[in-house]
Structures are given as structure tokens and as C-alpha cells.
Structure 1
Amino acid sequence: MDYGHELVFGTFVTPTVDAPDRVIALAQLTEQVGLDLVSFQDHPYQPRLMDAWTLLSVVAAQTQRVKVTTNVANLPFRHPVVLARSVATLDLITGGRVELGLGSGGFLNAVAANGGPQLTTGQSIAALEEAIAIIREVWNPAGGGIRIPGQYYSLSGAKRGPAPAHDVSIWVGAYKPRMLALTGRLADGWLPSSGYAGPDQLTAMNKIIDDAAADAGRDPADVRRLYNISGRFAGRGGFLQGPEEVWIDQLTELTLGEGISTYILASDDPDDIRRFAEVAAGVREAVEVARSSAAAGGSGGAVAGSGTAVAGSEAAAAEPVASAGVAGSGFSVVPTPPPAVRRSDVQLLDESTRPTGPAPDPSRTYTPYQLQSGQHLIDVHDHLRAELEQIHDLVEQVAAGSLGIGAARSHINTMTMRQNNWTLGTYCESYCRLVTTHHSLEDASLFPHIRRADPELVPVVDRLQEEHKIIHDVLEGVDKALVALVDGSGDIDGLRAAVDVLDDTLLSHLSYEERELVEPLARLGVL
């Protein structure tokens, strides 16, 4: 569905602390080539990244036209009253060039480790809902003191203002059903990334937003659909893999078929930014032609065909996408896709040779009890992802001299991912505490059970166990890099490289395992 929004194009620049002048120059280049928006991630617990709001202010001061936004603001570290006034202040200074990308907190363990609130995922979503209401009240000059008796944020007579120079949009980063529903009810825009929500997943996610908006009495078109994207202007056969005309065709289809109207390029390459400006011009022209044809009673051929070429081209270049069948079947547990951007040139997993299981039956229904097994696997993986981010932080602490190498080794060795058979072992151990007593699960029984229950999954299970061994070796490589740093035979760059290989290997594996197992766990039962 095309929601008819004006098209917007921008950049998502990495705010690396090592090269602040270059970051600002890329933001200025964004404006110079005619793009509309510059955005930066906001991870206050990450010392290798510049503070987002300080950087936004400097960029706004050194540009004239381009808008600036967080992508997305980390709410637990940004009290909603202070955040609202920061946004309004910068918006007033710039004459209306600020928007607010907002998230519930990202890596909650890292938030807590840095003194932020210790919240569960559910609590962080509830806190976000309260924060949105507070931010809008602060921006509203009408009325007396703000009184909101919230569970996470309580105001008892807070003064209003300042009001921003224009109606600032609140764009929410969301992937899971509860956050998507919140977006539909309350937000002005939805801001996912293609690395976590591929083109084949947008239809199902959009439906959750649309349904929630309608239930709240809103027009679904009130919610702008934004998309952080990445790709290469080389090769062919994948999503955003090829010359400008490939990008133009695919982004046009996403606009007309999925309603995406804001595209934000994640790249720190000046040539990519210049070429993306050409893509922006081509997409604007193609969408205008299609919309004019539809308004005049034409067939709108691009709309009729949308969704198929993008999904098909991505599947041709990457590994088989079983999760597209899950998303299309009404199965509400959404596997986490792998990141679109690799950290290392060393790739230990041949993703193109991964086997895939049988496609889910689109007519099948699942009970909440059945669904919780697959969701629990994702929850455990999210914990491992958070631990991976902690490892990156530990490396930077070692590099900065604030943490000893021995302490870093000790910390890594106590992490879940260092346990034997970490994925299966952690899943089984945690799942045993969750399921009812008539389910008994042991480490050695899960995969054998899946093999017996569905022979078509045997190649998948075998491949997963092979990858467990590879990941074990990668973890050993991180440990060896730490030892080398101690004895002087290695350096911090070698350690960073080893962790980057771990990042790519682990995240790819977790995504593959979720893609192939969340539905069978619900369908087959654990035991």
C-alpha cells in the first residue's frame, strides 16, 4: 500500500569518536548533494561513539537546510522532560530542522551496567509509552502544569515548554508486535532497519501498525514509514546490490507496495552518499509517474507488481528465507534477521550452503503456549546479542586503559556464550524453567527429538551443530588475541579484529537458528 507521503532521503552516519571532523563532513556532504536528513545512533553506554545530542547540535550549526534526528534516541538515558526540551530548543535554533527518532533502550543490560534503570523488555515499552505522552505535553503550550502519575515517569505540576518551531515528529524504532502496536497507536513514524526487518517482513509488520492505528481511531496513513537501508553499488541479484537503476527499481517498489517513504542510507562512504542522491532523484521521478498514473485511472503497474521483485531478488542473493513463510502465515513470533553490514572481511560461515527446513503451513494456527517456545529461543539469543555488545565495550575499555586484560578475560569466560554447547545448552537450561512440568528437556534431547519428529529438519540440525563448533573456535580466537595482547605478541587491533569475526559469525548463526527453529519448536513441541 502506498500511503502517499512525500519522499524523504537521508543518511545514517556512524558517529565514531575517532574521526569527529569526518563525521561532520559527511553530514555536510549529505546536504551538499541534496539529501534531506542526517541521522545518528544514540548509545550513551558506548564510549567509541560520540554523544548524539552534542553531535546533532554541532551538525545543525554547520549546515543550513538538512534536517537532523536521532536514529534512535535512547530513552532510559534521556529523561522525557529533558529530551523534549532539548529537541524543542534545537528546533527553535534551527528554524524547524529537528525530528525525534525514539527507542525504548536497545541493549537493556548495557543500560543497567551504566547506571540506567534495570528494566525488562515489557517495562521498557511501558516506559516508552509514558514518555511519548510526556514529550507531547511538554511541547504543548496550552494548559497548566503537567500532572502525569506514571509508573516510570511521574510529573506533578511540571511547566510546559518550550514549544518547538514546527510539529516535531516522533519516529519509533520497532520490530516486535508490542512495539509495532505502540507505533500504530502513538507514533508519527516507524523507523526500522533493513538488517533487522528485511523487505519480505515489511508487509506483516505494517499490518500490525495499521491494525493498531485503526483500533486507536487513527488513519494508518498518519504513521510515516521510514527505512534504514544499506547495500552496495556493485554486483546484481540481491536487495540493493547493484548499480543505481537496481536501487531505484527496488525502492520504488517498496514505496508503492509497502508504503515506505523515507529512506536513510547507512554508509560512511562519500561515494555511496553521492550515488544515493542520484538514486533519490530516480525514485522520486518513478514514484511521481506511478502516482500520477494511478490518479488518472491507470493500472499503476508498479503497485501491482510490488513486493515480489524485491523479495525475490534478495532471496536470490542471500540464504533461503524460510522466515518469509513464517511471517506470511500468521505466525506471530518473528525471527531476528542478520545485520546487513559485516564488521570483518573474514567470513567463516558459507551462508549460501545452509539447508532450509520445510515451509510452514500458512493455514496452521498455534496456541500461545506453543508460540512461547520459539519466543523463548529468541529471548535467549537476545541475551547473547547483548553479551556480544558487552564484549565490544570490554575491548574498548581495555584499549582505553580503564580495564585490565586479565579482568576482561575473566568477564568473557563467565558469559553465557562461553558455556559448552552454548546455544543448545543455554536454551535447554532456561527453557526447562519456563515450560510446565509435563515437559522435561535435557541438553542432549532437543536436537535428537527434532530429528525424530521431522526428518526434513535433519540437515538443518546437523548444520547448526557444525556451526556450534566453528563458533567455539572463534571464541578461542578472541581469548588467544587477549593473551597475545598481554605478552606483547599482539595488539589492540588484533583483538578488535577477532571480536569483529565473532560478531559476524555469531549474529549470522543466531539468525539462521531462529529462522529455521522457531516455527518447528511450536509445531513439534519440545518433547
Structure 2
Amino acid sequence: MDLPVLFGVNVDPVWGDVDQPLRLTLLADRAGLDLVTVQDHPYQKAFHDTWTLMSFLAARSERVTFVPTVANLPLRPPAMLAKAAASFDVLSKGRLRLGLGTGAFWEAIEAMGGPRRSKKEAVDALGEAIDVIRAMWSGLRSVRVPGTYDHVAGVHPGPVPSSSLGMWLGAYGPRMLEVTGAKADGWLPSLAYLDMDRVGEAVQRINDAATRAGRAPGALRKVYNLNGLITPASRGDFHGPADQWVEQITMLVRDHGMNGFVYWPDQDQERQLSLFAEQVVPAARLALAET
């Protein structure tokens, strides 16, 4: 099953310019984009709480879907995160996808009272969290999920979210890619940490894991976060004119099965996001329709 290709923009959860997150969200909403992503770094002094901000933005917009990139599990207990996500999904009529990550910046996480985990522990904890979240979305009368890091014991889950609410993992290492293919609904890597030359290998690992788990690789959402600039002169991947962006997006869809793209401008955010919505996305949609 081939999924439609989605396009979106990143909105930084800054509070210094109080109106900026709403301005950029409304830009995306009115331009007909599909996604707005919001970083989740609760320890960052310059940032709002991501969930509070997304709730506010959803109430002020009409159609765009929100994605935390990615929810910081060490600071957000999975059962509570599942409850928050399901509530958001129901109240917004399906306008949420749950981005999940193992955590990073461990000193900052510890400073907020969270645990410090090794790489192995963090991946193991994420696997357990996925099981807890699935149980909390199940609609069953009572659920129990054992675990070393996270568990629930006889909890009564609710509300029941829509079927569109899924989990997209920010994954790079081999074990995380395996978990993505075997247990998640989507993948949310960033160009800054996974360059284009390595996308194909990562996609293959996810697809192989999905196949082994009896899942259809084509049913997984694969969204690439694109940091870069739309400029007259080409200076590398996703740093150049709009037609270069369209060509690279088309190649990633055709050759590697990527099916979503979110723009994170390196600078001049509002103008760059306008260029993306007005020049890149319509041309990319047209090019993809013709392939």
C-alpha cells in the first residue's frame, strides 16, 4: 500500500516572539500543507511546553496535523503521554501523529528529574513505551503491560483515539530502525543526522524488519525533516533553487519510498517557509503526480 506524500513545516516552540508559532502554523494551514512539527525539549529555557503549545495551535487552525518531533520519553511517562495524545486526537478530530524518541541531552533531562539511560537502556525503554501506549489506546476495559522501565497494572484506558493516530519514531541506529519496522507506524529522521546517501540503507533495514514482523513496509509513514535553504545558487542537498528541491524530493520518493517532507529552514524562517509552501510543494506534488 503506497501512502500519499505529505508536506509540512517545523514551528519552533519559542515564546520570545509570542506570535511566531501561531503565524507560521496559520501560514501552513492556509497554504494547504499537511503537517506542523514542534520540537519537544522541555528543559530548553526558550521553549514553550510542546503539548500546551500544540493544543493552542490546533484550536486556532483548521486542518493541519501536528507532530511532536519527538516526544521526550524520559520526561513524559508513556501512560500519561498516551492519554494526552488520545485526548488531543479526539478533541482535534484526528489532527495528531505521535512522534517518539528515546531522549537525548541526558544532563538536561536529569536536571529536570528524569533518568539517565545508556543507549541500550533507552532503546529498550522505547520498546516498552510503545507497548504501554498501544495498550492505553486499545479501548479494553483494563490493561496490564509488564516492563523494566515502564508498565501499567490494571489501568482503565480511555479515551479511544481514531485509527489515524500512530507512532512515528525518530530513529537512526540499527536497533532503533529495527524497532521502527517491527512496532511503529512511521519513521521521522532528519537530514542533519542522516544524509541522503544513507537514507536507502536505513529504509531497507526498516522494511526488512517490517516484513519479518508480518507488516507491510509500504504502509509505514517515512517523513524526512529537511534543514536547508531555498536560494538561487545551489550549495548542496536541499540548499538551492526550488527546482533542485523538487528533483531531490522526487528522487527520494521514487528511489527510497520516502512519503513525507517537513522543512526546517536554517534561517529567515517565515520567508523560507513561504517559499516552500508557494514554490516547492505545488511543483513537487505535480512532479510526483506525473511519475
Q: Who is 1:199 aligned against?
A: 196
Report which of the two has the higher share of helix. 1
Higher RCO by CA contacts (8 Å cutoff, separation 6 or greater): 2
Task: Tell me how many residue pairs correspond in the alignment.
Answer: 287
TM-aligned CA deviation for residue 41 of structure 1: 0.5
TM-aligned CA deviation for residue 4 of structure 1: 2.6
Residues 142-291 of structure 1 mapped to structure 2, 5 A cutoff: 142=140, 144-234=141-231, 235-267=233-265, 269-277=269-277, 278-290=279-291
TM-aligned CA deviation for residue 237 of structure 1: 4.5
SS in 2 for 1:10: strand
SS in 2 for 1:260: coil
Matched AA of 2:272: D
TM-aligned CA deviation for residue 257 of structure 1: 0.7
Contact 1:108 1:120 in 2 (8 A): no
Contact 1:26 1:270 in 2 (8 A): yes
TM-aligned CA deviation for residue 32 of structure 1: 1.4
Within the candidate set 2, 11, 14, 1:13 is matched to: 11
Quote the Cα distance in structure 2 between the aligned partners of 1:203 and 1:227: 12
Quote the Cα distance in structure 2 between the aligned partners of 1:191 and 1:106: 15
Any unmatched runs of 5+ in structure 2? none
TM-score, normalized by length of structure 1?
A: 0.53
Quote the Cα distance in structure 1 between the aligned partners of 2:107 and 2:239: 35
- Deviation readout 1:136-174 (Å, 9 max, x if unpaired): 1111113x3111111111211011111113430210001
SS in 2 for 1:232: strand
- Deviation readout 1:432-469 (Å, 9 max, x if unpaired): xxxxxxxxxxxxxxxxxxxxxxxxxxxxxxxxxxxxxx
Matched AA of 1:68: F
Q: Who is 1:61 aligned against?
A: 59
Larger Rg computed on CA atoms: 1
TM-aligned CA deviation for residue 232 of structure 1: 1.6
SS in 2 for 1:9: strand
Q: Who is 1:404 aligned against?
A: none
Within the candidate set 45, 48, 52, 2:46 is matched to: 48
Contact 2:230 2:276 in 1 (8 A): no
Quote the Cα distance in structure 2 between the aligned partners of 1:154 and 1:233: 46
Quote the Cα distance in structure 1 between the aligned partners of 2:2 and 2:154: 40
Identity of aligned residues (%): 39
Matched AA of 2:200: T
Within the candidate set 26, 29, 50, 1:28 is matched to: 26
Quote the Cα distance in structure 1 between the aligned partners of 2:94 and 2:243: 33
Within the candidate set 131, 134, 139, 2:137 is matched to: 139
Quote the Cα distance in structure 1 between the aligned partners of 2:77 and 2:134: 13
Quote the Cα distance in structure 2 between the aligned partners of 1:128 and 1:233: 35
- Deviation readout 1:20-53 (Å, 9 max, x if unpaired): 2112111111111121111110011111111100
Quote the Cα distance in structure 2 between the aligned partners of 1:108 and 1:215: 33
Report which of the two has the higher share of strand. 2
Any unmatched runs of 5+ in structure 1? 291-527
Quote the Cα distance in structure 1 between the aligned partners of 2:219 and 2:225: 19
SS in 2 for 1:247: helix
The ranges of structure 1 where at least 4 consecutive aligned residues each deviate by more than 4 angstroms after the TM superposition are: none
Quote the Cα distance in structure 2 between the aligned partners of 1:62 and 1:165: 21
TM-score, normalized by length of structure 2?
A: 0.95
Contact 2:38 2:67 in 1 (8 A): yes
Quote the Cα distance in structure 2 between the aligned partners of 1:179 and 1:193: 14
Quote the Cα distance in structure 1 between the aligned partners of 2:4 and 2:190: 20
- Deviation readout 1:282-333 (Å, 9 max, x if unpaired): 111111111xxxxxxxxxxxxxxxxxxxxxxxxxxxxxxxxxxxxxxxxxxx
Matched AA of 2:275: R
